[in-house]
Each structure stands twice: as C-alpha cells, then as structure tokens.
Chain A
Amino acid sequence: MATSTQAQPSTAQPSMNMEDMLQKIKDRQWALADIDWDAPGVEKIPEDFKPKLKAFMADLCWIENVGARGFAAMAKKAPNDTIAEIYRYFHAEEQRHANAELALLKRWGMLEDGEIPEPSVNIRMAIEWLDTYADDMPLSVLGTVIPMLEVALDGALLKFLLEEVHDPVCHQVFEKINNDESRHIAVDFAVLDMIGHAKARKLAIDFVSNVASPGLIIGMLMYVPLLNRMRNNLVDMGLQPEKLYRAMERFEKLGRRGEYTHRVPLFQVLRVHSKMVVDPKHPYHLLANSMVTLSEYYPRALFRPIPTWFKELTYEPVTKGVKKGMNAA
C-alpha cells in the first residue's frame, strides 16, 4: 500500500542532518539559574566604562529579542517540521540570551529593581517592522536577513565584548551564549543553502515581489541605521570598527561555502551592502549616519504601543506565580 505523503514544500535535502541538530539543541539547554550571579568579579569593570557598557548591553539585549522575534516568524515558514521545531528553540534561546544579558546588567548594578533598559529608537523601529511585516515575509527573505543579523550583530559582537570586559561571570555567560550561537549560525547557513537550491524562478519571484514591497524597503531603512548605530556604540567603547567589519565579511565567507547560497538574490544584495559597510571611506556611511541622526528625531508618538512579546524579558532566574503585563514569566 502506498504510504501517504504529507504535503510539504520540497526544498532540497539539507546538507546537515537536522534531526541530529535538533537533538543536540535539546541536550544543550541551560538556564539562568545555572549561573551564580553573585560570584565575585564585578569590581573588574572600571566605573567610567559602565555608562557606555550599559548603553551597548541594552542595545545588544534588545537585538537578541529582535532576533528572537525573527525566529518566531521563521518557525512559520520552515520547510519541514524538524526545522520549524529548531526555530522554536532558537526563538526561545535568543530570549534566553537577552534574559542572561539583563541579568548581567543587573549584576553590574546598572539596573534598579524591576528596571528594564529603554530600547533605542532604532530598536523600536525594528520591533515595529517585525511586528508588522515579519510574518508575511517569505523564507527566502527571512532566511537571508537572519543570518546577517546573527553574524554581524549577535555572534561577533559578543566576542568583542569579552576582550573588554574581564568579569569571569560575563565570560561564563557568553561562553554559553556563543555555544548556542554556533548552532544558530550552522543552521542559518544550511537553510540559506537549501533556499538557494530552490527553483531559480521561485527565488526571483520571491525577490522581485518583495524587493518592491513596503515591507522590505522599510526593513532596509530600519536595518541601515541600526547597524551604524551599533558600529558607533562600538567605536564609543573604544573598540575598533574593523572587528565588526570582519564579522560582516564572515557573512560572505560562510555563504560562499554553501553550494547554492550564491543563487539567493537577497544574499547578493546583502553581500554588496556589507562590502560598503566594511569600507569606512565609502560614501554609504554619510547616508547611514545621517539616518541614525534622523531617526533620533523620529517622533516617539508615532510608535504604536510596544508589543507584549517585547515585555517578556526578565533578569529573574526563577519565577513563581503569574505576574501579568511586564517582565515576568
């Protein structure tokens, strides 16, 4: 008797065994409670460094949260059940990173009781964009943008941070986060390659119909200043922007390893874009930086209320009972 087949879009077989990956992810879960947040080491952070560190960490933690929301959108587009489940975990893991980073801020005395840092304008724009458009974006768009975010803003930034901050607890936390990130990036690029394997016609349609869509245009308008803002934050902290650039080059390098990745049109766009970002003398920065400045003038009143998923972050490792509304599980 013929076995019934489930109706699933048949992209290429992933070059990675996704079942094994999912099992590995399930086996490597960790919790905030695994870390001793009161261990010594806070004194290793110079006082004058703290305000900048706070601004940077706040943005970083919100970027994790933005990445989390991206994975939530990806889970709905995944080419099969296993990858959907992996994205469900990644969604949660980005949230875990954000929670852990908040707990670090708390440990360093940068947060009052119950305080959650204010998201910057650029973050709020990103949030609005995600909340409005992400669920409607096809896999070929999300699957290209997310790896870029992961490589440039997430995975790599953490490494830079470790060079500047000598708190052992911070190192312990980021070791865990980095381990998670290495799995994220591996899956990101495997899926990007699967996307590239799709019919050229489908790729072109996805691209053309979205490149002109308000969703993608606004997305770019939001992404450009967000990236430059992080770059400026880094420079403020005394880090060399080259490190960010090197991270962005990784996007191209990892993408080139895939057999089919180069066929994804948006990958090519982002690749060219990252080249411009990497070149400090490129006139692109004039534009990008004025966008950062401009965005500062964006009237706050125009923002819609912050979506509730954004209010789920917390630095408390253990929760008991239900506290509705703000920052409680």
Chain B
Amino acid sequence: MTVTDIAPKKRASRAKKPVTVHTTLVIGAGFTGLGTAIKLREAGIEDLVILERADRVGGTWRDATYPGAACDIPSQLYSFSFAKNPNWSRTYSPSAEICAHIEELAERFDLTKDIRFNTEVTALAFDKREARWEVTAGRTKFYARSVVIASGPLSDASLPKIRGIDDYQGVKVLSARWDHDFDFTGKNVAVIGTGASAIQIIPELVKVAGSVKVFQRTPGWVMPRLDSSTPAAVQRVFEKLPVVQQAARTALFLGHEVAATGLVWNTPITTLIQQAGKLHLRMTVKDKWLRRQLTPDFRAGCKRMLMSSDYYPALQADNCKLITWPIATITPDGIQTSDGLQHELDAIVFATGYDVHLEGPPYPITGIDGQLLSDDWSGHPQAYKSASAHGYPNLFFTCGPNSGPGHNSLLVYAQGQIEYAVSGIRALVEQDLRWLDVRKDVQDDYNVTMQKRLQSTTWMTGCSSWYLTADGFNASMYPGFATQYLRQMQDFRIDDYDVASNAAKRLWNIPADDTRTVAG
C-alpha cells in the first residue's frame, strides 16, 4: 500500500474528530484492575482509564452476596502486598468486608476519577496503522496504546442447562447473583451443586429454611476451615507495625507454598492430604453411607479444594438432606430424581459455579492481522507467561492461560501479572515503541514446557474439572510454586518480543501499516 492510497482515508477520519488515545486502558474495576491502576500510577503512568460494566468497584466481591460468602484463603494473604489491610476482622473475611476493602483502595489511591462505570466492553481490536487498541463499549469507543484485561476469572454466571429448568414455577436463585428479595424462612428449598459457593450457602440456609435438600453430583475434598475473629489488639499492631503484618503474611505464604507439594503435584503428600480429608469426614460425619457419599473419587487438588468446618454438620441437621441420585428433570413443582421421586420445592438455588472463559474473554478480540483470539484459542488457549499472546500486541492478560493457583491466593498471582504488565507498558512508553508483540517461537517453547510440567500435577489425574477444556487440555493452571510464578513475572525481557519502534518509523519513513519490526 502506498502513502497516497491511505492519505485521503486518514484525512477523512481525522476530520471527523480527534480521538483521545490513553496510554493504558484497564478493563474491570475488581481487585486486579484497581491494583493495575495503582501500580501504573506508581510507575509514573498517569494517563489511564478503567472501564467497568457495573456501577461500583469490587468485582467478584461486589457480586457475590449470597449468605455465607467469604474468601477461603486467609485474609492476610487475600490482599495486595502493596496495599494491605491491617483491619481484617476475621481469619477468613466475609464478602462485604472484602468489598469494603476494595472500595477503600479506590478511595485511598484516588482511582475513582479514572473509572468509567456502567461501561461494558463489547469488543477490542488492534489498529495496526495507528498502533493502538480500539475498545468498543456499546456505542462508545475508547482508544489506548495498551490494554490490560482484568475482567475477572469468575465474573460471569448463568443458569445451567438442566432438563426442564424453564418449566419450573418456583423461585430460581443463582448463587452468584443472589436474590435478596426472596425470604427463605420456613421454605422448602433445594441447592443444586456442592462446590465452593454451595458449601458456604448450605450452612446458612439450614439455619432459616424449613428444609434444605442438597443435590450432589460429585463430592469434593473438604478441609476444616478454622475461622476466628482477629482480636482488636492484633489489628492495632498490624496497623502500627506493618513489619509484623508482613511477617504474618510471609508465614502464611510459605505455609501455602508447602501445600503445593501435595496439591499441585501428584505425590505421596497428596495422599496425606486425602487422609486428612477422610479424617475430617470420619470425625464429623456419623453415618457410614453418608461418609461414602461424601468421599471424593479423585486425587486431592485435582478440583478446587473446599474449606469449611460447618458444611458437614449442616448436612446432618434435621432439616437437611444430601441427595446423590441424578436429577432426571426439573418439573413445574420441583425436581424429579432418577429413583423415581418428585421433590416439591418452593425455591431452587443453583450453586452451579461460573461461566469460566477458558478460551479467552467473552467479547471478541481482534489481533494485528485481523484474526480473532477466540479462534486462536479455540480448544488450546496459549499465552506467554500467561500475560501476552502472539499477534495481540500491547495487550496484557491477567488471570490468563496457565496462571491459576491450586494452592495459594489468586491475588499473589495477580500481583505478578500486574507487575509484568506494568514493565511492558513502561517499556512501551519509555522506549517510545509502537508495539511489543511476543514472539511466536518464544510463546511456543514456553507452552511446551508448561504442558510437560503439567503432566505430573494432580489436575491431570483424570478428574473432569473446569480447569480443563473439553478434550482434557489444561490451559488454566500454573504447574509450580507461587514463588516460581512470581519470579518469571518479575522478569520482563524485551527480547521475548517483536518490537516496532516509533523512532525507526520516523527514521526510515516506513509507511504506517508496514509490519516491519525492529528487534529491541
């Protein structure tokens, strides 16, 4: 293409209206999005905008309001090390408290002014000529040299496709979007699912509902969760002496790292963890058959570990019953199980988890050559260090492929991703680059290693989990210690990238859409 070719077009678009091109655009105002903004500011990058589809910050913790919602990683680990909270009231904080902490972060770091609320990103496309991302949010367009995707690993949820679900006349409640208008007091209710959310909801429902029937498909490993309130004195010490809090955090971090030897890798420690799980069952569940129903068939760690000390007791309450028969269909009045019985129900709680987007965000992302990320990632999503994908320059993923922790706080990992993105964006700005695109060979090598290392992990021991794609490919978990992951994320190497520089373009007067790249 010649310069004359493109000139008129260019003029036409220029004539329309000059657009603002931000240095960085962040999608999502949850923990990760806000953490990215804090770190970018700290690095001197002030020109940023955060798009958030909701009307408030908080992400997961704004949306998860079901009774009993809380984190299952100790609170001391469940915050960023650069923005700690000395005031966690309990070992495992309830959802509202975490949300309040995130709101406090937005205030403390004065982030709200950069957030565009009620703005849902519907598409991303890289404009090669202008070397910028065009971000569509409904009818509005935003432009930025770089984009950080922080729209969350578990931010979307929908009713499952169970036979007959549309015929049901009672109240349907989705755990991820709790219906606070419905009063469960005295009602006959069902909970479908026995995962992380369900085991928090069930003990709360048992306290108020007339009856609670729990429909289980596969039992998970449940470890006791020793939750207690944090004495005010300790909170004061944490406030006055941050070093002490850091020490507590480090101790917890190391404790979780040790657990990786059994939860990440399939080892004799895994068996030991299973024995602990079985002991927990034996000590808290009297009936042998119920114990059998609750004993998992898969290696500990293969699916997400469940942490609860009140789930097993709740199941044995007089008004609660575990049902393991398959659900034949949902009927207008309730649930029909395969043992031929109808269960009449006033409400059904679907604690069936989240729509996990293993194959990339649910909005279209168009890369440098017009290709779609959803096609590139169909079946086998691949990125470099979970953060960059070849063909999608200046785009940084958080919670990307092979970034999931099996044994530690997600925020520890997110912090590494933030650091990595900030390094990349700094390089872009400080070296006046048009773009950084991770090299194909580098990305391929990295993924060969990942898949090799994954083979000896618990996730690949044969259970079906949301960590794996339909054909059993693991593109979600990171096979290693958090320490290893953080080390790789702290090590941003520009040599891993194809680099297009503005200086080169000016010097050689290369047409704007030439793909000529200059090694950095």
Interface residues of A (CB under 8 A from B): 1-8, 26, 29-33, 76, 81, 88-89, 92-93, 95-96, 99-100, 131, 135, 307-309, 312, 314, 316-322, 324, 329
Contacts and interface: CB of A to CB of B under 8 A. Distances in A.
B318 A322 contact: yes
Nearest to A25: B338
B212 interface: yes
A8 B454 CA distance: 17
Contact of A4 (B210, B343, B454): B454
A7 B461 contact: yes
Contact of B472 (A6, A93, A322, A324): A6
B489 interface: no
A100 B340 contact: yes
Given A3-B473, A6-B460, A6-B472, A318 B287 contact: no
Contacts of A131: 288
A4 B474 contact: yes
B370 interface: no
B464 A32 contact: no
A2 to B, nearest CB: 7
Interface of B: 163, 188, 210-213, 287-290, 292, 297, 318-321, 323, 325-326, 328-329, 336-344, 380, 382, 447-448, 451, 454-455, 460-462, 464, 468, 471-474
A31 B328 contact: yes
Contact of B340 (A30, A76, A320): A30
Given A92-B325, A308-B290, A319-B344, A31 B336 contact: yes
Contacts of A30: 340
Contacts of B288: 131, 307-308
B287 A308 contact: yes
| Residue of B289, B336, B339, B454 contacting most chain A CB atoms (<10 Å) | B339
B320 A95 contact: no
A117 to B, nearest CB: 18
A318 B344 contact: yes
Contacts of B343: 318-320, 329
B337 A92 contact: yes
5 contacts: A6-B462, A32-B340, A33-B342, A131-B288, A329-B343
A316 B462 CA distance: 39
A95 B325 contact: yes
Given A4-B472, A321-B188, 9 more contacts: A3-B472, A31-B342, A32-B342, A33-B336, A33-B342, A92-B338, A308-B289, A314-B341, A321-B210
B341 A318 contact: yes
A31 B323 CA distance: 16
A213 to B, nearest CB: 20
A89 B325 CA distance: 8
A321 B461 CA distance: 38
- Which A-B residue pairs are the 3 nearest by beta carbons? A92-B338, A96-B340, A29-B328
B188 A320 contact: yes
Nearest to A7: B462
A270 B471 CA distance: 40
Contacts of B211: 321-322
Contacts of B287: 308
A317 B462 contact: no
Contacts of B472: 3-6
Contact of B212 (A6, A96, A322, A324): A322
A201 to B, nearest CB: 23
A96 B318 contact: no
A32 B343 CA distance: 12
Nearest to B464: A81
Nearest to B474: A4
Given A96-B339, A317-B342, A322 B451 contact: no
A150 to B, nearest CB: 17
Contacts of B213: 322
Nearest to A313: B339
A318 B342 contact: yes
| Residue of A5, A33, A321 contacting most chain B CB atoms (<10 Å) | A321
A9 to B, nearest CB: 10
Contacts of A312: 339
Given A309-B289, A318-B341, A322-B213, A1 B451 contact: yes
A135 B289 CA distance: 12
A88 B289 contact: no
A135 B473 CA distance: 31
Contacts of A1: 380, 382, 447-448, 451
| Residue of A4, A92, A95, A320 contacting most chain B CB atoms (<10 Å) | A4
A306 B391 CA distance: 65
Nearest to B471: A3
Contacts of A99: 339-341
A100 B340 CA distance: 8
A309 B293 CA distance: 10
A314 to B, nearest CB: 7
A55 B462 CA distance: 45
A7 B298 CA distance: 11
Contact of A92 (B339, B460, B468): B339
A81 B326 CA distance: 15
Contact of B451 (A4, A95, A317): A4
B388 to A, nearest CB: 18
A145 B257 CA distance: 47
A29 B338 contact: yes
Contacts of A307: 288-289
Contact of A320 (B297, B344, B447): B344
Contacts of A29: 328-329, 336, 338
A33 B210 CA distance: 24
A318 to B, nearest CB: 5
A31 B340 contact: yes
A92 B319 CA distance: 23
Nearest to B339: A95
Contacts of A93: 338-339
A319 B464 contact: no
B485 to A, nearest CB: 20
A319 B342 contact: yes
B460 A7 contact: yes
Contacts of B448: 1
B365 to A, nearest CB: 21
Contacts of B464: 81
| Residue of B342, B451, B471, B472 contacting most chain A CB atoms (<10 Å) | B342
B315 to A, nearest CB: 11
A97 to B, nearest CB: 8
A279 to B, nearest CB: 38
A314 B455 CA distance: 47
Nearest to B343: A319
A31 B341 contact: yes
A20 to B, nearest CB: 17
A293 B518 CA distance: 93
A32 B331 CA distance: 14
Nearest to A28: B328
A31 B337 CA distance: 8
A307 B288 CA distance: 8
A329 B337 contact: yes
